[in-house]
Structure 1
Amino acid sequence: MSDAVTAAMPELRGWIGRSRVVAEEITLPAVRRIAGMLDLDPDSFGPGSTLPPHWFSLFFADVARQSEIGPDGHPRRGAFLPPIPLPRRMGAGRRTRIHGALQVGDAATKTIEVAAIEPKQARTGQIVVLTMRQTISARGVILAVDEFDAVYREAVPPGAKSASTPPVPAPDGAAWSDAILLDPVLVFRYSAVTWNSHRIHYDADYARDAEGYPATVQNGGLTMHLIVDAALKRAPGPLLGFTARLRRPLFVGQTVTLAGAAPQDGKMAAWAAAPDGTLAAEMELEFGA
């Protein structure tokens, strides 16, 4: 463990269990913007419409003041997030249970709790995994409980490339697949809808020079959302939950393959493959009867 992380751990452990509540009105204009971004008919939604159950992740943005934004575009640590002393932050995965769905017009809340902070030594160097537990409620009931993992990583030396886990091939024998262009406009609109200002998703010079990526980076939240959308087209029943792991970065402008196995015992494996056939993200979805 690095000296900085070791020194910070007593303070960081004090963050575990801290919580706050973010309120959100699920307004029709916002829903229609999201629908348009996802290539759905905006006018198919009206007052009282029930939203797809996984759309809760498109609301409840942290709205930091401009003076609270750090050099990477994220809110500075210590305002909304624990002050983990590693400069790079990326989504890593999630575990979600679905109990209901938001509706247009809801006065909803998201209760955010720091669930865990775990320092680890990975193949790519020192990391810290931050797990946030998010509980979505509206109309007096809990609609979803979502645990989201973010990985904090060391800085990239000047001129070096960002390290990533060794590639593995995507699974063979998919029962279905969709080719999806990670269009820069789609990624921009997703960032706008979710109020995500992380510079690696829109600033190519920053992504290359500061973080060692070859191009602007696809948003992992959007990757997971697109996989769920594709799987729901083949779903045997209502979505009850899913787990997701982001294995390797995808890049804006690539055409990726979203694919999955046939449902079995109410579960479906699904994944995203990079253009070279390597596995970028994997999910397991659970459906009701």
Structure 2
Amino acid sequence: MSLTLSEELQSWVGRTREVEEDISLGAVRRIAGMLDMDPEDFRRGDVLPPHWFTLFCAETPRHSDIGTDGHPKPGVVLPPIPLPRRMGAGRRVTIPGALRIGDVAVKTAEVAAIVPKQARTGFITVLTMRHTFRVKDEVVAIEEFDAVYREAVKPGEKSTVPPPAPAPAPGDAAWSTAVTLTPPMVFRYSAVTWNAHRIHYDADYARAEEGYPDTVQNGGLTMQLLLDAAVAKTPGRLAGFSARLTRPIYVGETITLCGRPGEGGRLLAWVQDRDGNQNAQLECEFAT
């Protein structure tokens, strides 16, 4: 396959679209329940945790625009990258503000970059989206999000996605919390974020079509749980973070959320699986 973008894909770079959402009390209480918080603790006008902006302004394509994988068909929301398997990879976020219950938020989604590459696992393309969240004229958050597109599993080949070589998680955690990724938790997160990607709930599809051994944990939920733990353990206000998913996690597994203070007032956090390997990493910046 070519490492040069087609004219059609090049034309997508720089395109923008907007998504608007009322930050309603009902939506916030559903999120709180999903995260095992008391929904009744939230009232109209409350300021939400800064990183919760990622739970709002999801795309809402028509059902007829959904592909067999559960994602919107190529070209409906995202560029028509001709590779069928898509997974989140990393984020870089600054958070100058915060949402309140009752706000009207607007997300501007921009196609920032499309980069084809030859990787260890085959030909891939990395899509970078830039999301800017505003309430009226105030910027609440700016997020750059990377998604990796991979080739299909070839007929007759072993239906397994070769994961990156395992790397041991750091052994110097100052705090840790174990979480079991139950199917209802993953389902509820997907419902809250309007994510119908079948790898998160259809084991037969995940194995046969995308080459995974089981249903795959939603990377957004992994980051949400790790950020929630980091914010709860650290004084100050979360002002930004960078995140990277390094190895797949599967629904039903128990993971350990870990963290420790880093240099320059930053916090380092990571996800450790049952074998002691690191699956995700996070670097957070807090404002006093």
2:237 aligned residue: 238
**CA deviation after TM superposition for structure 1 residue 265, in Å:** 2.3
**CA deviation after TM superposition for structure 1 residue 184, in Å:** 0.7
Q: What is the rounded CA distance, in whole Å, between the counterparts of 1:197 and 1:251 in structure 2?
A: 16
Q: Is the 8 A contact 1:235 1:263 kept in 2?
A: no
Q: What is the rounded CA distance, in whole Å, between the counterparts of 1:261 and 1:285 in structure 2?
A: 11
Given candidates 22, 26, 30, the residue that maps to 1:25 is 22
The question of 1:126 aligning with 2:156 is answered no
2:169 aligned residue: 170
Deviations 1:160-212 (A, max 9, x none): 21122111111111111111101111000000000000000000110111111
Q: What is the rounded CA distance, in whole Å, between the counterparts of 2:120 and 2:30 in structure 1?
A: 40
What secondary structure sits across from 2:261 in the alignment?
coil
Q: What is the rounded CA distance, in whole Å, between the counterparts of 2:188 and 2:56 in structure 1?
A: 14
Q: How many residues align?
A: 286
**CA deviation after TM superposition for structure 1 residue 263, in Å:** 4.6
2:149 aligned residue: 152
What secondary structure sits across from 1:89 in the alignment?
strand
Moved over 6 A (4+): none
Q: Percent identity?
A: 60
The question of 1:248 aligning with 2:247 is answered yes
2:11 aligned residue: 14
Q: Which moved more, 1:259-268 or 1:277-286?
A: 259-268
Q: Is the 8 A contact 2:159 2:212 kept in 1?
A: no
Deviations 1:199-249 (A, max 9, x none): 000001101111111110000000011110111111131101000010111
Q: Is the 8 A contact 2:129 2:145 kept in 1?
A: yes
Q: What is the rounded CA distance, in whole Å, between the counterparts of 2:32 and 2:178 in structure 1?
A: 20
Stretches of structure 2 that go unaligned for 5 or more consecutive residues are none
Alignment of 1:34-183 (within 5 A): 34-158=31-155, 159-183=158-182
1:213 aligned residue: 212
What secondary structure sits across from 2:31 in the alignment?
helix
Q: What is the rounded CA distance, in whole Å, between the counterparts of 1:94 and 1:9 in structure 2?
A: 26
Letter in structure 2 aligned against 1:180? V
TM-score calculated relative to the size of structure 1: 0.96
